[in-house]
Amino acid sequence: LTFRVGLVQTTSGPDPALNTERHVELVREAARRGAQIVCLQEMYRSPYFCREENAGLFDWAETVPGPSTEAFAKVAKEHSLVIIVPIFEKRATGLYHNSAVILDADGSTLGLYRKMHIPDDPLFFEKFYFTPGDLGFRAFDTRYGRIATLICWDQWYPEGARLAALSGANILFYPTAIGWHPFEKATHGASQRAAWQTIQRSHAIANGIYVAAANRIGFEGPPDNGLEFWGSSFISDPFGVVIAEASVDKEEILIAECSTARMEEVRRGWPFLRDRRIDAYGPIVNRWLAWPHERSDWPGKFSPVPWVYAEFIRYVSLHERVRILVLDAAERKSIERVLRKAGVNLNAIDFYLRPTDRSWTRDFCPIFVHDATGRTVATDWIFNGWAKYPNHNRDNAIPKFVASRLKMERLEPGLVLEGGSIDVNGAGLLLTTEECLLSDVQARNPGHTREQIEAAFARYFGIRKTLWLNRGIAGDDTHGHVDDLARFTGARTIVTVVEPNKSDANHEPLRENLKLLRAMRTLDGQPFRIATLPMPAPVYFDGQRLPASYANFYIANRHVLVPVFNDPNDRVALNTLARLFPTRTIVPIYCGDLVLGLGTLHCMTQQQPLSLA
């Protein structure tokens, strides 16, 4: 696949209509010169007004759709162009963004990017005008390829470029308005411009993608307190080679041909994305939950449960998006009230209106995997209520709903499997139990052999070796889920629960599993590092033993959230996990009430990794 990119570098005066007319003609000229994807400079429709704080300048903002989208949609359709149109967006009364609209070659609007990083420096007073973006770092499928755009100040942050690349973008555009302060140019001008180009070329190299930056030119403002925009728009190939570059002070249209074959060549020779150590620092992901509503799961003790969920979400949403399945719009409003009271940032929450039977998403949500190309796909395993509860049909339909909403490929293995019954190390190994997957009690797949189940793990998860433990913990109504028992904390490290009290029902099964773990080997024949967690004292409610376990911890991007039970062993478990996860903050969450529903923190979540393609 090849595609031709055009960048427009010019000045912008005080008349928005005239600026639009001029840029329309420049885009037409780019099309005549063979461009297929054209990017304009940041806020092309006006001077760079952020040199001052002036409330009257909000009048320059426009809506989407609005004057810019109307004008350029006609050009896009007429010339079969993809156009990136950076605008000063009026989202609502008193709410403004620094945005870029992506128009496809038929004139349709593919979507919108809103600038995430907002500067506040001398002559760059953008925080006065713009609310930070809330749409994330996205890629858009256009007629000529998959593209992403960030805006100006975003270019100094590697995280945005990486997320755009992981979303599958072939090229990353940076519409820009950057220049020199008059009193700094003589001393720092050359190094500032060099740093600006270097950081963007580094994004190209680190991610193996094309990068294109469109800057403006000209001097704006008073002679002693204005900005001299340094132009120098450029296009870099996936190894940081500048294949087209404009001058510092002339109006120009840059044209360059880009090729996915060149991306493939670079990524094969310099496989930076392949060699990411996601086992060490964790991918940035979305987390799925279903809001608790089945009161019979917590008989006589439901009222504290939503507040446990809210406290959990408060921590998780600090560094990742949380997607919550809710029954209906009325429940959503109720949930929002709870989350606000708990101090949750609702901008990090996505709600999906879809009824469920229960809220244990680990077991019925799709299990997301990367295919051979690096794309994220959803595996849709059958959920039959743990072969125990008849009300499971709504939960079983969730993977199809989620994959459809995400426009994601869905694979159907045709076997029963819950996410809590397995744990993986991300390097070809999987932990599970015979009690859950091979027993005739609560049988998931009657008639299927160990070899057939292992073959399914190999086909759909890329598993090269399945590690079988025996029995799970007392009180577990799933009949042997491994996530209450033993978990990977690294590619070669497993932590498992132990019970020294010989009179406790857990003692013998856990002693047996520890012996099995110590005899297991990695793919290269080495023993695992085995760490142990204590069990809390048995937790009962109304005479029923509950599956309280510290192994049901949840690994977030920056935290490890750990169920605790007001037990002396809470401290021991937290200290052990702190040693196993030295780069993450360990957060205890009281689960003495939540565990009455026969699950805790890991059971209530399912992760969705970003695409690597």
Pairing of strands 529-534, 540-541: unpaired
Spatial strand order of the sheet with 349-353 comes to: 349-353, 321-326, 285-290, 606-609
How many helices (H) and strands (E) would you count in the chain?
A: 15, 35
In 3D, which of 240, 235, 180, 168 has the Cα closest to residue 204?
Answer: 240
In 3D, which of 533, 608, 164 has the Cα closest to residue 365?
Answer: 608
Q: Is 101 left (phi over 0), alpha (psi -120 to 50) or beta?
A: beta
Cα 530 to Cα 497: distance, rounded to the nearest angstrom: 11
Cα 31 to Cα 19: distance, rounded to the nearest angstrom: 18
Spatial strand order of the sheet with 227-230 comes to: 179-180, 227-230, 217-220
Number of Cβ atoms within 10 Å of the Cβ of 535: 26
**CB-neighbour burial class of residue 281 (10 A; exposed 0-12, middle 13-18, buried 19+):** exposed
**H or E stretch covering 84:** strand 82-92
Dihedral angle, C-alpha 13, 18, 21, 23, nearest 10 °: 10
- Would you say how long the chain is, in residues? 613
Cα 271 to Cα 239: distance, rounded to the nearest angstrom: 11
**H-assigned helices in 385-506:** 393-396, 398-405, 434-437, 450-461
In 3D, which of 483, 490, 484, 486 has the Cα closest to residue 584?
Answer: 490
Q: Which residues have a catalytic role annotated?
A: 42, 115, 152
DSSP secondary structure string, 446-471?
A: TT--HHHHHHHHHHHH--SEEEEE--
What is the identity of the amino acid at 213? A
ω into 65 cis (within 30 of 0): yes
Contact 346, 339 (CB under 8 A): yes
Which tokens hold the place of 554?
């949840």
What is the identity of the amino acid at 92? A
Query: If you search the block for the tokens 């996410």, which residue do you land on?
Result: 419
Cα 44 to Cα 28: distance, rounded to the nearest angstrom: 16
Cα 604 to Cα 343: distance, rounded to the nearest angstrom: 20
132-138 contact pairs (CB < 8 A, 24+): 133/97, 133/99, 134/347, 135/111, 136/163, 136/321, 137/163, 137/164, 137/167, 138/111, 138/113, 138/164, 138/167
What CA–CA distances, in Å, run from 138 to 105, 116, 165, 276? 19, 12, 9, 20
